[in-house]
Amino acid sequence: MNYCPHCGQAVELTVPPGDHLPRHVCRGCGAVHYQNPKIVAGCVPEYEGRILLCRRAIEPRLGYWTIPAGFMENGETLQDAARRESVEEAMADVEIGSLLAVIDVLHAHQVHVMFRARLPEPRYGAGAESLEVALYEEGDIPWNEIAFRSVDFALRRFLEDRSSGLERHHFHAIDLRRSR
Amino acid sequence: MNYCPHCGQAVELTVPPGDHLPRHVCRGCGAVHYQNPKIVAGCVPEYEGRILLCRRAIEPRLGYWTIPAGFMENGETLQDAARRESVEEAMADVEIGSLLAVIDVLHAHQVHVMFRARLPEPRYGAGAESLEVALYEEGDIPWNEIAFRSVDFALRRFLEDRSSGLERHHFHAIDLRRSR
């Protein structure tokens, strides 16, 4: 951030009075512009034991496989967001189920919230951000071609819990920042 | 948003190609500036059955009671954020426990994530954003003076679960947008 989104004057990085972290503060109007983690919502859609995966048509990780997931929008719930992303990326109308995983992705300033989901009918297809979409048996999941660590984590916990007959939720933190 | 934070040119609200919602797009550099929900992390600190509440010294809801909670920062986990807010608002060094509530606050573009927490020692005090901080027995909680609906929801679920010997998590949506 170089300029104030409100008034267009230059901002500087400084610790405001009473605060404890540097913020972008406008030299003109004095507005303080906070930057906070963004939420990615997604789900593991299941149809008769098989899992719906999407091969990414966009960067980052173009060509790698993921579950339907994306940035939550203002005005929707986490479940709304996970359902919408399944429609957009996999053309799949899923029923969102229980909470599966909450992953703090510290280097990316993101929190990933993943749910279990049911695909009632085997109807799906490649949305604009996917090269292909397919149902995978557990033994066929392309583990070496999974796009993101958070997706790998969510898929593994999903399968472990399913084999135990459980629907737990799992917290996890991923931090790829360089050590100082 | 009126100006591009990158280049300082004017932005306009328009639907970018391939998108489905209006975004702030820079007329100069073409950057698309997304606006997404922010995360508020908090906890219900418990000491020998009593609950730690803070009376707000700041707007909104100055003078009303709340649990320690605030905006999550980049580079911290949800649990880190909840713990930090307890230190800042209640000068309380808590141990964060299980997930209690996830509340989509649709009109505010926020997601509130509340945890159970343990206060190991009865050491606490009013931080800069609190007028006073106190331990409340369940029967003495000032329900008519609770600052936010999400806090009311979290406290009630906490107490219900505690009386049942459970540690469940609860989803909830609050929407005070005017109907169109």
Confidence grade of residue A139 (pLDDT, cut at 50, 70, 90): very high
**Strands (DSSP E) along chain A, which ranges?**
11-14, 23-26, 32-33, 38-47, 50-56, 65-66, 69-71, 95-105, 110-118, 130-136, 170-174
Best A3, A6, A9, A34 member to test B by mutation, with max B CBs in 10 Å, is: A3
| Residue of chain B nearest A33, judged by CA positions | B5
All residues of chain A having their beta carbon less than 8 Å from the beta carbon of residue B24 are 5
Question: Which residues, in sequence order, are bridge partners of residue B12?
Answer: B25
Residues 6 or more apart from B59 whose CB is under 8 A from it? none
**Mean pLDDT value of segment B133-161:** 98
User: Looking at residue A17, what is its pLDDT?
Assistant: 87
Percent of chain A topping pLDDT 90: 95
Mean pLDDT over the full length of chain B? 96
What pLDDT is attached to residue B53?
Answer: 98
- pTM (2 decimals)? 0.96
Predicted pLDDT at B103: 98
B90-146 pLDDT per residue, tens = 999 999 999 999 999 999 999 999 999 999 999 999 999 999 999 999 999 999 999
pLDDT at B178 over 90: no
Kind and range of the H or E run holding B136: strand B130-136
pLDDT digits (tens, 9 = 90+) for B9-25: 999 999 998 888 999 99
Q: Is B111's CB within 8 Å of A39's CB?
A: yes
User: What does the pLDDT read at residue B180?
Assistant: 47
Q: Is the pLDDT of residue A155 over 70?
A: yes
Interface test with A, best of B6, B36, B76, B88 (most A CBs within 10 A): B36
Best of B7, B12, B20, B77 to substitute, by most chain A Cβ atoms within 10 angstroms, is B77
Q: Are strands B32-33 and B95-105 parallel, antiparallel or unpaired?
A: unpaired
- Show residues of chain B in contact with A169, CB under 8 Å: 99, 169
pLDDT of residue B17: 87
CA atoms within 13 A on the CB side of B24: 16
Burial class (CB in 10 A: 0-12, 13-18, 19+), A6: middle
Contacts of A27 in chain B (CB under 8 A): none
Q: Do B72 and A36 touch (CB under 8 A)?
A: yes
CB-CB neighbors (< 8 A) of A38 in chain B: 36
The average pLDDT across A166-177 equals 96
Confidence of residue A18 (pLDDT cuts 50, 70, 90): confident
For the segment B34-46, the average pLDDT, to the nearest whole number, is: 97
Mean pLDDT of A45-73: 98
Q: Band the pLDDT of A179: cuts 50, 70, 90.
A: low
Residue A50 reports pLDDT greater than 50: yes
Contacts of B33 in chain A (CB under 8 A): 5
Residue A180 has pLDDT above 60, yes or no: no
Given B35, B74, B79, which is nearest A109 (Cβ)? B74
The pLDDT value recorded for residue B126 is 98
8 Å CB contact of B36 and A39: yes
* pLDDT band (50, 70, 90) for residue B31: very high
Instruction: Please tell me chain B's helix, strand, coil percentages from 3-state DSSP, rounded to the nearest 5.
Output: 20, 35, 40
Token couple for B119: 């206060």
| Interchain proximity A77–B173, CB inside 8 Å | yes
pLDDT of B161 higher than 70: yes
- CB contact under 8 Å between B2 and A5, yes or no, is yes
Give the number of beta-carbon pairs within 8 Å between A and B. 106
Indicate yes or no: CB of B3 within 8 angstroms of CB of A2. no
B150 vs B17 pLDDT, higher one: B150
Nearest to A3 among B3, B102, B169 (CB): B3
Smallest CA–CA distance from B177 into chain A, residue: A75
Q: How far is A1 from chain B (nearest CA, A)?
A: 5
Give the pLDDT of residue A127.
95
Mean pLDDT of A13-38: 93
Which pLDDT score is estimated for A175?
Answer: 95
